[in-house]
Each structure stands twice: as structure tokens, then as C-alpha cells.
Amino acid sequence: MAKQHVIMVGGGLAGLAATMKLAEAGVHVYLVSMVPVKRSHSVCAQGGINAVNELTRQQGDNEWLHFDDSVYGGDFLQHQPPVKEMCDWGPRIINLLDRLGVPFNRTPEGLRDQRRFGGTLFKRTAFAGATTGQQLLYALDEQVRYWETQGLVEKFEYWEFLGPILDGSGQCRGGVIQDMFSMKIRSLAADAVVLATGGCGLIYGRSTMSMICTGGAAARAYRAGVIYANGEFIQVHPTAIPGTDKLRLMSESARGEGGRVWVPKKPQDPRDPKDIPPAERYYFLEERYPKYGNLVPRDIATREIFDVCVNQGLSVEKGRMCVYLDVTELSASALHKLEGILEIYEKFQGVDPRTHAMKIFPAVHYSMGGLWVDYERDEQTGGLVMGSPRNQHSNVPGIYVLGEADYQYHGANRLGANSLLSCIFAGLIVAPSIENWLKSLKKGSAEDQPVSLFDGAVQGHQKRMDELIANQGNENPYKLHEELGDWMTRCVTVVRNNKDLTACLDKVDELEARYKNVALSDKSNWTNQNFSFTRALGDMICLARVITKGALLRNECRGAHYKPEFQIKSPDADDPAKLRQQAETWCRAFKEQTDKWLKTTIARHAPEGPQITYEDVDTSLIPPRPRTYGLKGAEIIEKTWKEMTKTTPARKAQTAGVGA
Amino acid sequence: MATATHGHSKHPHEEHAHANGRKFTVRVLRQEMAHSGSHWETFELPHEEGMNITTVLQRIAANPVTTDHEQTTPVAYDACCLEEVCGACTMVINGRVRQGCSALVHKLLEESPTGIELRPMTKFHVVRDLVVDRSPMFQHLKRIKAWVRVDGYHDVGPGPRISPKEQEEAYPLSRCMTCGCCLEACPQFNDRSPFIGPAAISQAILFNPHPTGRVDRDDRLAVLAGQGGIVDCGNSQNCVKVCPKDIPLTDSIAKAGRDTTIYKIRKWFGR
């Protein structure tokens, strides 16, 4: 049997973690990336990485609470075993990163410092200044560079993944890739292809994501048969700096260190924010959510900022929607920890945020949904069976998916600082799973497959490229992209309704039809970015349909998917008996909604459009409960829900041996 | 900038000559292939609030027509994060090397009211237009073993304790995004010189004091003491002036000079 190889597509945190772990095990990896891996989008992660630590432990924290925060924050839409396993691994992952030299901030005693992030009451987040993602990525990049010198990693940087190669039985035998400089297309034989290709924010035009986050690779896998799950769950980050080319993230850590969100009580108060006295400021998050304050989960902070600007007309500016994010009252040492992000604001806005409140607005930030992956549950621990070839394995044999590209860990809403953890976790645990997958392959390795299989795949992609370059028409790909982004941002972000979603789906149809008439302004065969972009635009349109259709069909509110038409009315009666009655009605409606909609959206590609079905979610460890952050009548709902679920034989709360 | 009347809601340029919608010109040095000749093309665009060079290049891509009304191709350029943490969009703008994303048009027009000039970095091979091949920089990182070598990735507890002072020294060096500004500005670095340049030297100084990373310290110093190492630095101090992350590169170079001297003396005495 010839040598076995793994293709790793994407060199962000997930791809690099998996690569170094595979290399350590002696598995040869082809690392394919559209950019030098050190420039991957993970560099943009700012705030930190979550894990229970000795300090929080002594305040009553433990892995189970991190797990509970994650599934509660995610509105229970994630399968629980992988999330539980991830939270259990948290402390070990931080320790590993620490050993690899990540310059985490330190306490005077030399221990790792921690900050608080949204959706939790504990200071659970380790950080390196305000460029944590960059620092973690560099540490893993350095390890992979070491393995490169040992001959175990072969990099294909500035190469684009065009699609997997499946044999007659539907098993993945490699991938087709293209050199973005010479435009040469070639195949790589491999026994496993891992997609660690990040999110798809560019579908929304401008987002906090990098230029490479088109979802292109995910769409190509989807068209080849990989299921796309929970596409409609797109996180809109509450605080970003609006820009002409990008909406730049202003990390949650600004609030974690004490930054406050407010608007002047007087609409569009023209005074300098410094001159507006506290009594004339509306700290709406603190007032509406006394428990979590400025650190409510992201979907909630986003909706409140939206509400204050759109419905209450309290935007700081008249022509442009924004609210103040104020760090001007923070201590010098707190500001120092935020240096990296304050610099970004200063550079791009020309205003010093240390002395002037920042102006921010929500922006598309993260794809909770993504390619579907499997896992094997450990019945003893409630976590995962380590090394099972099923972990992170898509429905197509031989294709694995990691990081933001998968749908596994964040449910309907991701908690801040959980993404770095999920990326590295999935990267580390997939390595033994792939090793076992490789060992299980009996029918010879990919290299033993007929040459025609690989050549045929290359020719197919070459033909599509030639056709697109030769295409005649009057449509401009950049203008089409702008239209797509405008529609998606307007209809499929913070507030959704079926009328807009239907219109958006029609728009996507129209854009797809017009895409057929797209004409390239560059027909050359060398570093043709015009071509690469236009091809990715086709992929974006494909995923836009998956996202929009999923959103249209899901008639409920869950996490980031907020459809007011289907919101359960909060109890508001003054009379206690009436209030109780309303709470019971609320809880029954919630139960009904859970029974119907606590399901993974499964999209399968078909020529006529995505075929959508639903799959049950494993919520066996923590029974779903109403997510009541700051909800009107939260207390009575929680009380009523507890009483109601006590009388009905609820699912087992915690399996034996699980929990802390 | 903030005035009592309208806070900082208006950008300074709004009251400046380059108001929104006002047209400005951009000259771009174009090169079709790796070894073809280069030529200038000029574009005219309306200014937008907060516009940066990556936006300029996006607008040109959407409508690649020169001021001579010639239909041309979109300008090829490198770009990724657009918030100056990835280092991709480095180019020479108005004669100064920097990132296109954080180069704001209104400020560039203050520097150079007649228009903006974009050209590729000159110390690396041009691939096309503004795209250059910076892979030598990553090769340098291999030479100086820019990593912390560990026993393995299994769980063996936390790393060494690090004092806040050590972290404060390491973190700025660790923000190097391998963008190449320092090499572009360095008179000693070019494709005929073996000099590995400030970025790699500074990375050696990042890893050498690390409690675990120091195991490869002598290997790093051997590279810095050898051909293309620290002696090739001409001390022009250009690197530190152009570093977008304000990395104290000249401090790193000074430390490297001291450490290699000690290393050579130690080697002389066979220790």
C-alpha cells in the first residue's frame, strides 16, 4: 500500500492545530491555504479563549458550568457531548498553548491573567493583550513550520481548494487545488481531506471577516454531497466599527475590561460625549440586564443596540446608526490590556478611544452553522470517544470538517471566546480520529487509485474555469456581490421576517440567473483575482440560498435567529394569579416550540435548490430550559418552568459520572 | 479634532479640501507577469468617507477604466484581514511602505495633494501588479528556529511561570506579522545580499529568553553570528521607523549584537 496523506485545507487555528498534531503522529500533511497560513483569519480574533481555571474554580466555577453557559448561550441547539468534551479540555488546551510560548497576560505572580466575557459571570477568559487570536495562531504557525522542516508538512500557500475527489463508492480520495499565481490546476491524492476553511461572512458583503471568508470551499464540499447544517445561524457581533471595505471588530474584551455601551437620552445630542452628564446617558444594556450588564450574550446585545437605534431613534448620529462604546473611564492598566484594539480604532477612525467614546454598530461576525460533522458519544462520560473515526467526520467518507467551517459547537449563538477554543479543540481531537480512519482503510490508499480518477477531476475544474473566463455577458461580479450583500444584510441578520426572507430568496434566484451573464474584465491566465473572486461569488450565491431558506423555514426565535412574528409573548400582568397563568401559557408555548424546532437544520444540495430536513439534537445532559436573560417575567417563567418539568417525566438530567 | 459643536462625529477631512465625492487620482505601477515590464496606469475615483487603499482597489476592480478611458484589468493585490493584523496588503504607498488597509485616502492626499501613488514592494519578486513573493521571510523564520520546541502535545500541565515584565517584553516582538516593511526600508536587505533582516533577528530575540525556547538559543545565535547575520546590519535604523506595529526592532538588533558577541566568546573558550 502506498503512503497515506492528509489534505488540510485552511491554516487558521483549527487547521494548524490538526496539522501539528497529525505531524507529531507521523502523518504526512499537505497544507493548502489561499494565504500564507500566518495571515489566516484567526489573526482577527481579539479578546481571548475560554477555559475554567484555578481562580474561577475557587469561585465555584467548573467545566460543567462552562458547558452549561455554552449550551444555554447557544439556546440548546448544539449536540451536547462534543460541547461537554470541549469544555472539559479547555484547561488542558490553555496549558498546551502556554507551553508553546503564547505571551498570555500575567499576574504579578507570573500566572495567567483572566478577563470576563459575555454570557458568563466568571472571569474565564485567558488573553494575550487584545490580539489573542493572532498570538495563538502564531504559536501554532511556528509549530507547523517546525514540522515543515522535519518533512512532515508540505505547504501549498496561495493555492485554492476547488473540490474533493470522490471515487465510485462516494469515498473521498483527494482534492483538486489551484495555484492562485500560475492558475495551474492539479490534484492531490489523499486518504482524508480536512476542511478548516472558516466562515462565510463575505456573503453579507461587508462583515468583520477577512477577504478570504467567502465560504467557497464549504460550498464546493456541499455541492459534492456534504450536508450543510444550521446555515441560518449567523452571529451578528454587537460592536464593530463601520468601514467602507470592512466592518472592523471591536472586541467584547472592551466590555470585559469595563467598557460601557450607551446613547444620549436626547436623540442625536450634538454635544461631545464627554460633556453629556451621566444622568443624561442611557446605559441601556445595564438598565435592561442588571445581572449581565454590558456582557449579555452577543445576540441579545446586538438586538438591543438595533432596537435602540432603529425603533427608539436614539442612534448617536442621524444619518448613520451607531451607539457609544465607552472605555474613557477605564484605568491606564485596563486600557493597556486593550492596546491592540484601541489602536485599530485610532488608526481607522482617526480618533483616540482612550479619550473619546467609540462609535460602534453590530456587524455579521461568525457562522455558527456550517458543514455537518459526526461524533461518537461516550456513554460513560457523556463526552466523546477519543480517537473515534466518526469525530468531526462529515457524511462523505474521508471528508472531515473543523473550526468555523463546521456546525458543531455553538448552536444558535456562540459565546465570546469560545470559538478559539472550539477551533483548537477540534483540531487536536481530529488527529487521532483521522489516524484511526487511515488505519481502517483496507482497500488501498488514495495513491493506488486509477490516474483517470484524478485527471478527470482536474479536467472538470479546468473546463469550468475556461468557460467562466470565456463567458459573455453584461453583469459585473463586484456589483452582483454588492447587491447580494445588501439584501442578505437587510433580510437575514438581526431581525427576520418571512416576507423579507421570501423576497430575499427570490433575489438570490435573480442573482443566480444574472450570474450566468457575468463577464470578467480580466481574461488572463496569471494571478487572475477577477476570476477567483467571480468563481467564489457563485459559491456565495449557493450558500446564501441555504442560509435564507433555512431562516425562512424556521418559524421560531432561537439565539441569533430572531423572528418577532413567532416570539412568545412575555408575561406582563400585574395581578399575581394572572401573571402565573400567563407564565404557564408561556411555558406551554415554549415546550411546543422546543418539541417542534429544537432540531438541526439539514441542507442537502440538489440541482433545484437545497433540500431541507431536520435532525434531533442530543440534549441528554442538560435539559433545555427557557433562555431568560433579561426577559420580561423571567423569574415567574423560570419558576413555572421548573414546576412544570418536575411533574412531567423529564429527560434524565445528568448521566451518572457526569458533572462536577 | 473634537470640537464643542460636533464632537468627533465629523472626520477632519470633511472640512478639508478632499470632501466626500470629490475626485482624486491614483497612479498604480502595473506589471502583468513575473518577468514582464512595468507601466503606470492612472485612475480617478470619488472620495468616500473613511476610504482606504483597499477600498480604492476594490472600486478600481469593479470599474477598471483608466483616466485615458482605457478598459484595463483589475489591479492584483494581496489583502486579507483589512485591519492591519495579518500583514498581507503591504505595498509602497506614496513612496512609503505600509499596509493598504490602514492607509486612509484623506491622509494620503494631505501628504500628496496631487494624487496617490501605489507600487509593489521592491525587495521581493513581483508576481503581478502589487502582489509580491515574500516567501523568503518565512524561510528565514525556519533558519532561526522561530518556535518553542516542546516534548509533545500531550497534557503535561501548564507552561513555565512568566513574570509580567517578561510578558511585556515578549508581546510586542510577538506581534510581528511578517509584513516585510522593515525589509523594504532596510538598505542592507536585497536579493543580492544574504542578510536575513530585522524581522527574523527580532524573532530570535523573542524566543531566546523564553524558558523553554532557550534550548535552541545557541543555534539561533550561530545563524545571527554567521553570514547574513547581525554584522550585515548597517544600523540605518530605517526598520524601526516603518514598522506598523512599533516593534522595537533596533533594540532587538542591539540585543542580538550583544548576545552574538558573548556567544562567540563562549564558543572561543569552548563552552
Which CA distances in Å does A85 have to A157, A378, A448, A658?
32, 10, 37, 11
d(CA A113, CA A124): 10
* Predicted confidence (pLDDT) per residue in B50-70, tens digit: 999 999 999 999 999 999 999
Instruction: Pick A347's closest partner by Cβ from B11, B84, B155.
Output: B84
State whether B82 and A245 contact (CB < 8 Å). yes
In the chain, the amino acid numbered B43 is: F
B2 contacts in chain A (CB < 8 Å): 272, 351, 356
Q: Which residues of A touch B63 (CB under 8 A)?
A: 476
Residues B112-139 have a mean pLDDT of: 97
Q: What grid cell was written down for B235?
A: 544600523
Q: What pLDDT, on the 0 to 100 scale, is given for residue B9? A: 41
Q: Residue A202 is which amino acid?
A: L
Locus of grid cell 480518477: A453
Q: What 3 state SS string does A595-650 have?
A: HHHCEEEEEECCCCCCEEEEEECCCCCCCCCCCCCCCCCHHHHHHHHHHHHHHCCC
How far apart CA A11 and CA A34 sit, in angstroms, is: 9
CA distance readout (Å), B232 to B144, B194, B196, B235, B255 = 16, 8, 9, 9, 15
pLDDT at B4 over 80: no
Q: Give the CA distances from residue A126 to residues A56, A250, A280, B86, in Å, rounded to whole numbers and listed in that order.
A: 12, 18, 35, 22
| pLDDT above 90 for B99 | yes
Q: Which residues of A touch B172 (CB under 8 A)?
A: none
Q: Is the pLDDT of residue A2 over 50?
A: yes
Chain A residues within 8 A of B48 when measuring between CB atoms: 244
Superfamily of domain B135-268: Alpha-helical ferredoxin (1.10.1060.10)
Per-window interface: A 345-364 vs B, CB < 8 A? 347-351, 356, 359
* Sheet containing A228-229, strands listed edge to edge, beginning at the edge strand earlier in sequence: A370-371, A228-229, A599-604, A611-616
Residue A116's contacts (CB-CB under 8 Å, 6 or more residues apart) are A122, A123, A124, A125, A256, A295
CB A212, CB A529: distance < 8 Å: no
Separation between Cα atoms, residue A652 and residue A655, nearest integer Å: 7
Q: How far apart are CA B218 and CA B202, in angstroms?
A: 15
- Contacts A–B by Cβ distance under 8 A: 221
Q: Which of B205, B206, B214 is nearest to B171 (CA)?
A: B206
- Return the residue of A nearest to B105 by Cα: A348
Decide: residue B197, CB within 10 A, 0-12 exposed, 13-18 middle, 19+ buried: buried
Q: Which of A432-436, A528-532, B7-11, B101-105 shows the lowest per-residue confidence on average (mean pLDDT)?
A: B7-11
Q: Output the average pLDDT for chain B.
A: 92
A20 touches chain B (CB under 8 A): yes
- Name every residue whose Cβ is closer than 8 Å to that of residue A621 and which is 6 or more positions away in sequence: A67, A80, A81, A84, A382, A654, A655, A658
- The whole-number pLDDT of residue A443 equals 66
| Mean local confidence (pLDDT), A424-450 | 93
| DSSP secondary structure, A523-575, as one string | --SSS-HHHHHHHHHHHHHHHHHHHHHHHHH--S-BTTB--GGGPPPPP--SS
Q: Which residues contact A588 (CB under 8 A, 6 or more apart)?
A: none
pLDDT digits (tens, 9 = 90+) for A120-164: 889 999 999 989 999 999 999 999 999 999 999 999 999 999 999
Mean of pLDDT over chain A: 95
Compute the Cα dihedral for A344, A347, A352, A356 and give only its sign.
Answer: negative
Return the number of other C-beta atoms located less than 10 Å from residue A201's C-beta.
27
In this structure, how many other beta carbons lie within 10 angstroms of the beta carbon of residue A574?
A: 6
- pLDDT of A525 > 80? The answer is yes
Exposed/middle/buried for residue B95 (C-beta within 10 Å: 0-12, 13-18, 19+): exposed
In eight-state DSSP terms, residue B85 is S
Percent of residues in chain B assigned helix, strand, coil, to nearest 5: 35, 15, 50
Three cell numbers, residue A352? 483616540
Q: How confident is the model at residue A118 (pLDDT cuts 50, 70, 90)?
A: confident
Q: How far apart are CA A76 and CA A69, in angstroms?
A: 10
Provide the ipTM: 0.94
- Cβ of A92 under 8 Å from any chain B Cβ? yes
Lowest mean pLDDT among A53-57, A104-108, A275-279, B8-12: B8-12
Residue A655: predicted pLDDT: 38
Residue A652: the pLDDT is 41
Cell readout for B113 is 495633494
Q: What is the residue type of B78?
A: D
d(CA A540, CA A544): 6
CA-based nearest residue in chain B for residue A353: B8
pLDDT band at B13 (very low <50, low <70, confident <90, very high): very low
User: A41 vs B1: CB contact, 8 Å cut-off?
Assistant: no
| Residue A527, burial from CB neighbour count under 10 angstroms (0-12, 13-18, 19+) | buried
> B69 CB near a chain A CB, below 8 Å?
no
Alpha-carbon torsion angle B218, B224, B227, B229, nearest 10: 180
CB spacing of A39 vs B87 below 8 angstroms: yes
The structural domains of chain A, ordered by start, are 5-236+366-453 (3.50.50.60), 238-363 (3.90.700.10)
Written out in words, the top-level CATH class of the domain with range B12-133 is alpha beta
Q: What is the pLDDT of residue A535?
A: 98
Question: What is the predicted pLDDT for the residue at A119?
Answer: 84
**Optimal mutation site among B82, B137, B173, interface A, most CBs of chain A within 10 A:** B82
- pLDDT level of residue A319 (50, 70, 90 thresholds): confident
Confidence at residue B12, expressed as pLDDT on a 0 to 100 scale: 39
Q: Which of A277, A282, A291 is nearest to A261 (CA)?
A: A282
Residues 6+ apart with CB under 8 A from A495: A303, A306, A562, A563, A564
- Coil/strand/helix, residue A144: helix
Out of B8, B166, B213, closest to residue A356 by CB? B8
pLDDT band at B218 (very low <50, low <70, confident <90, very high): very high
CA distance A34 to A275: 48
pLDDT digits (tens, 9 = 90+) for A250-305: 999 999 999 999 999 999 999 999 999 999 999 999 999 998 999 998 999 999 99
Mutation target vs A (from B8, B99, B127; most A CBs, 10 A cutoff): B8
Q: Indicate if the pLDDT at residue B14 is higher than 90.
A: no
Q: Is the pLDDT of residue B158 over 90?
A: yes
Residue A308: CA atoms inside 13 Å, Cβ hemisphere, count? Answer: 33
Distances (CA, A) of B170 to A127, B202, B207, B209: 14, 10, 8, 9
Integer CA distances (angstroms), A233 to A136, A236, A601, B127, in order:
26, 10, 10, 39
Q: Which of A298, A496, A558, A627 is catalytic?
A: A298
Q: What does the pLDDT average to over A68-74?
A: 96
| pLDDT value, residue A55 | 87
Q: Does A248 touch chain B if contact means CB atoms closer than 8 Å?
A: yes
Q: Residue A658: its pLDDT value, please? A: 36
Residue A387 has pLDDT above 50, yes or no: yes
Judged against a pLDDT cut of 80, whether residue B6 lies above it is answered with no
- Substitution target in A33, A88, A142 with the highest count of B β-carbons within 10 Å is A142
pLDDT at B191: 81
Residue A168 C-beta-side C-alpha neighbours within 13 Å: 3
What DSSP string runs through B34-77?
TTS-EEEEEEEEE--TT-BHHHHHHHHHHS-B-TT--B-PPPP-
C-alpha torsion sign, points A254, A257, A260, A261:
positive
pLDDT digits (tens, 9 = 90+) for A559-594: 999 999 999 999 999 999 999 999 999 999 999 999
- Residue A651 per-residue DSSP state: P
How far from the centroid of its chain's Cα atoms is residue A55's Cα? Answer: 28
Do A135 and B174 lie within an 8 Å CB cutoff? Answer: yes
Q: Which residues contact A453 (CB under 8 A, 6 or more apart)?
A: A165, A167, A173
In this prediction, residue A566 carries a pLDDT of 97
CA distance A628 to B43: 55
Check if A298 is active-site.
Answer: yes
Mean pLDDT in residue range B211-236: 97
- Of the pLDDT bands very low, low, confident and very high (cuts 50, 70, 90), residue A659 is very low
